[in-house]
Amino acid sequence: VLTTTEFDTIAAISTPPGEGGISIVRISGEEALDVAKKIYRGKSLDKVASNTINYGHIIDPSTGQEIDEVMLSVMRAPHTYTKEDIIEINCHGGIVATNRILQLVISNGARMAEPGEFTKRAFLNGRIDLSQSEAVMDLIEAKTDRSMKAAINQLDGNLSHLIKHLRKDILDVLAQVEVNIDYPEYDDVETMTSKLLREKATDVHKRIVQLLQTAKQGKILRDGLATSIIGRPNVGKSSLLNHLLHEDKAIVTDVPGTTRDVLEEYANVQGVPLKLVDTAGIRDTTDKVEKIGVDRSRKAIASADLILLVLNASEELTDEDRQLIKATNGKQRIVVLNKTDLPIKLKLNEIKQLTHADHIISTSAIKSDGLKELEKLISKMFFDEGISSSQNDVMVTNARHIGLLNQAKQALEDVIKGLDTGMPVDLVQIDMTRCWDLLGEITGDSYQDELIDQLFSQFCLGK
């Protein structure tokens, strides 16, 4: 049940904080036009057509003072982002002027939007479903073109479509079961019903498993492949890192509320976003003397999906190298033999033996040799058949969706087990219904208010 305050007219600055060429103050709600009319001087907003942009001035109605020269967009419900009336004020990009305009908008009848509230309205007003709303956030945070494609695919509703089909199939079979239960006078009704349930449970189970198979790659595209560059001092870790973060490809995000130490850096490796873990230690060139020993590396090793273990090919293997090889055994690993431009002292056979013939690549960071091969290998290890480029290929990218799909899969396994052990059909039905509910949480067809609040609070302000 929605309270009226949930549909107050809301406003926020929708462009990133700070100075820029222009900033946009966005207003959404029934009173958006009325609020704008009070502070806008230009052509009467009652007379302008929807989806037009208009030249005028923002005036403080209490003083008559002119605040800014603006372009004002009018978008009338229902064909807008929120399905409500939307006004967007494009003003000159200064922080002071933009805040002044936002304050005027607030004092003239709108209230401050919460993070993600515009998108939340798009959801609550039925324009997009929950998984599509989540795709909006993924799109904003997309790290490579491939990640973006996955988010757009989800925003287009391809995942939702698939989930809705699964739910419909489950609902159909549940309805059929009800009918059968209502006519117990027929022979064999129990056997028929249980056969029907089993067939459908098996079929839906298979389709969910297929979806889950895309999750591993999907999650990498969305969150990045956590990668640690490990190796003793001076083997060339920083040089390698700098190559991977080649200026035009580097994506650096400063995670709010965290220190410089956990600055996240992403490298775009053939469309795969590599999230480089614990690069602070590698970047620290001043403490070369201090050993970046095995202990220091353990944390970085544990949290990584991929290890780049760098060895110096121009020196013999040291004890520390051996320890690092041991510490990274069992992980997805590429052994990088660096400094191959120098005379080689490392014995390849020994490395092969010690690493159980892991992926081994020879590089020279100084001569930029072998780096393309390294990138190709990374991409091939995690995207065997390449990253799907088809817009229609549904890929599950979101941890929340993956969790729900796993639970739904479990519920179906309970259905099948229940039938196998001769459990009464009405009990089996409960598990089938649970599966239906769980799938509905992905699209937001079944949801709890707390979930919605929690999800949208992760959005940025003004979206």
Known binding positions:
26, 88, 127, 234-239, 253-259, 278-281, 463
Q: Can you say whether residue 270 is alpha, beta or left, with left for phi > 0 and alpha for psi between -120 and 50 degrees?
A: left
d(CA 33, CA 39): 10
Whichever of 238 and 332 has its CB closer to ligand GDP, that residue is 238
Among 302, 366, 399, 427, binds ligand GDP (CB under 6 A): 366
**Smallest gap from residue 291 Cβ to ligand GDP (A):** 11
- Interaction of residue 362 with ligand GDP, rule CB under 6 A: no
Among 338, 379, 397, 443, binds ligand GDP (CB under 6 A): 338
Q: Rg for the chain (alpha carbons), in Å? A: 28
- How many amino acids of this chain bind ligand GDP (CB under 6 A)? 16
Q: How far is CA 439 from CA 203, 233, 265, 402, in A?
A: 15, 50, 34, 11
- Interaction of residue 282 with ligand GDP, rule CB under 6 A: yes
Tokens of 361: 């690549």
d(CA 234, CA 254): 27
CB 219 within 8 A of CB 423: no
Among 365, 396, 415, 439, binds ligand GDP (CB under 6 A): 365
Q: Which positions from 45 through 84 interact with ligand GDP, judged by CB under 6 A?
A: none
Whichever of 370 and 418 has its CB closer to ligand GDP, that residue is 370
CB 311 within 8 A of CB 317: yes
State the DSSP string of 201-259.
Answer: HHHHHHHHHHHHHTHHHHHHHHH-EEEEEE-STTSSHHHHHHHHT-GGG-EEE--TT--
Instruction: Give the residue from 403, 398, 382 showing the smallest Cα distance to 304.
Output: 382
Using the rule CB under 6 A, give the single segment among 128-136, 215-223, 349-357, 360-368 that binds ligand GDP: 360-368
Before 16, cis peptide (omega within 30)? Answer: no
Using the rule CB under 6 A, give the single segment among 35-43, 63-71, 119-127, 334-342 that binds ligand GDP: 334-342
**Smallest gap from residue 229 Cβ to ligand GDP (A):** 8
Q: Which positions from 231 through 250 interact with ligand GDP, judged by CB under 6 A?
A: 231, 233-239
Mask of contacts with ligand GDP, 394-433, x by CB under 6 A? ----------------------------------------
Burial code (b: 16+ CB inside 10 Å, e: under 16) for 100-119 equals bbbebbbebbbeebebbbbb
- Interaction of residue 226 with ligand GDP, rule CB under 6 A: no
Residues forming the annotated binding site for Mg(2+)?
238, 259
Using the rule CB under 6 A, give the single segment among 129-137, 155-163, 317-325, 339-347 that binds ligand GDP: 339-347
Whichever of 107 and 238 has its CB closer to ligand GDP, that residue is 238
Whichever of 254 and 284 has its CB closer to ligand GDP, that residue is 284
Show the CA angle centred on residue 18, arms to residues 16 and 21, nearest 5°: 80
Whichever of 216 and 372 has its CB closer to ligand GDP, that residue is 372
Mask of contacts with ligand GDP, 248-267, x by CB under 6 A? --------------------
Longest dimension (CA), the chain: 87
CA atoms within 13 A on the CB side of 80: 24
> Which amino acid, 19?
E
Positions touching ligand GDP (CB under 6 A) are: 231, 233-239, 282, 338-339, 341-342, 364-366
